[in-house]
Amino acid sequence: MSIFSRIVERLFSLAAAGSALLTIAVFLLLLYLALPLFEQGGFWALIRSPWDPGAGLYGIYPMLIGSLSIAFLALLIGFPLSLGGAFFITCFAPLFLRRHLLNLVRLLTGVPTVVYSFAALFLLVPFLREHLTGGSGLNILGAALMLAVLIAPTMIIFFVDALRRVPSGYLQAVTALGGSPGQGLVYIALPLAWPGILNGLLLGLGRAMGDTMISLMIAGNAVALPGSMMDSARTLTAHIALVIAADVSSLEFQSIFACGILLYLFTALLVLMVRLLGKFPKRSPG
């Protein structure tokens, strides 16, 4: 083997290992800057206490709840929508529409989030303010609605992929037995495709938790613990974006690294769950 190819191959492996190490380095960097919090034993207290700078409390509990409630509400709205969309593309749509619809959905995954939030801020928010929720119109409901629209294309692509991977012979057998396409979908395709669907759901949750611009611009960023979905709330991601200007050594500032660590761990947990899902034994239709 020539020296040239040896060098190039070494470079390939270095690139792979380096990228993987960077993934760990990011976590270590966040941990290093959050270290003062650990030393004071304040990390867990920080996660559980409220945000009240006047009383010296810089807890991120309200942001955690804000993030979780917005993400899960978005999923609650977005999941049925995406499932319906995926059913439509795989089963009910006229044949000539299916491919174009899927391409449109792919296109929608590329729409910038800041564009969505900008449009929603001047269209959805005034609507909510005047007709539905009152107040400023900046609340959990609006953010969750927009997030649902944002994550739906990603979920639809995963759902369609999962449904299409069901062997076509099974569905042809349904047709041969006199079953309708809808019956094939509900009794054969759906039970076989559920790991893929759960996979898409988890990734949708990850996107919803990790999104910054929509919650920053539409959720209102109030630091109080939200009581209902008409309340405005601040998410972990928005908190990072908002506090960045504070003094570097303050406790207020260090709280954003706690947010970063929480988001990182949440992501890793989701990925591990998706992994475990992949190991799930494939059930044959019985």
Partner 1 sequence: MNRFGELLLALFSWCCTLLLTATVGILMLFLLRRGLPAFDAALFFGDTPPLAALLLSKPVFDGLFPALFGTLALVLLAIACAVPVGLAAGIYLAEYAAPAPKRLLNLFFDVLAGIPSIVIGLAGFALAIVLHRTFSGRIGHCLLLSALSLAFLVLPYLIRSTQNALEAIDPVTRRTALALGASKLQNILYVLLPNRLADLTGGVILAVGRCAEDTAVIMLTGVVASAGIPNSLLRQYEALPFYIYYISSQYSGPEELQRGFAAALVLLSLCVALFLLAFFIQRRLKERLLYR
For position 132 contacting partner 1 by CB under 8 A, the verdict is: no
Question: CB 53 → partner 1: shortest distance, Å?
Answer: 20
Q: Does residue 108 belong to the site contacting partner 1 (CB under 8 A)?
A: yes
How far is C-alpha 284 from the geometric centre of its chain's CA atoms?
30
CA angle 172, 178, 183 (to 5 degrees): 70
Does residue 76 interact with partner 1 by CB under 8 A? no
d(CA 154, CA 210): 14
What residues between 18 and 57 interact with partner 1 by CB under 8 A?
18-20, 22-24, 26, 29-30, 32-33
Question: In whole angstroms, how close is the CB of 41 to partner 1 at the nearest point?
Answer: 22
Determine if 160 is a binding residue for partner 1 (CB under 8 A): no
Q: Say how far apart CA 215 and CA 114 lie, in whole Å.
A: 11
The binder of partner 1 chosen from 129, 198, 264, 277 (CB under 8 A) = 264
The CA distance from 151 to 158, in Å, is 11
Binding flag, residue 103, partner 1 (CB under 8 A): yes
Verify binding: residue 91, partner 1, rule CB under 8 A: yes
How far from 182 is each of 79, 91, 170, 171, 187, CA to CA, in Å? 19, 7, 13, 10, 9
Look at the alpha carbons of 120, 125, 126, 130 in this order and tell me if their dihedral is positive or negative. Answer: positive
Give dist(CA 140, CA 143) in Å, integer: 5
**98 is a site residue for partner 1 (CB under 8 A):** no
> Segment 196-225, which members bind partner 1 (CB under 8 A)?
203, 206, 209-213, 216-217
Cβ distance 137 to 128 under 8 Å? Answer: yes
Contact range with partner 1 by CB under 8 A, out of 44-52, 130-138, 166-174, 240-248: 240-248
In the complex, the smallest distance separating the C-beta of residue 280 from partner 1, rounded to whole angstroms, is 16
Q: Which stretch binds partner 1 (CB under 8 A): 40-48, 106-114, 132-140, 166-174?
A: 106-114
Q: Which of 119, 130, 167, 191 binds partner 1 (CB under 8 A)?
A: 119
**CA 209, CA 68: separation in Å to the nearest integer?**
7
Asked if 191 touches partner 1 (CB under 8 A), the answer is no
Structure tokens at 120: 């929603």
Comparison of 52 and 119: residue with beta carbon closer to partner 1: 119
Collect all residues with Cβ–Cβ distance below 8 Å to 81 and sequence separation of at least 6: 148, 152
Q: Interface with partner 1 includes 87 (CB under 8 A)?
A: yes
- Based on the shown chain and the rule CB under 8 A, indicate whether residue 80 belongs to the binding site for partner 1: yes
Residues 171-190 that bind partner 1 (CB under 8 A): 180, 182-183, 185-187
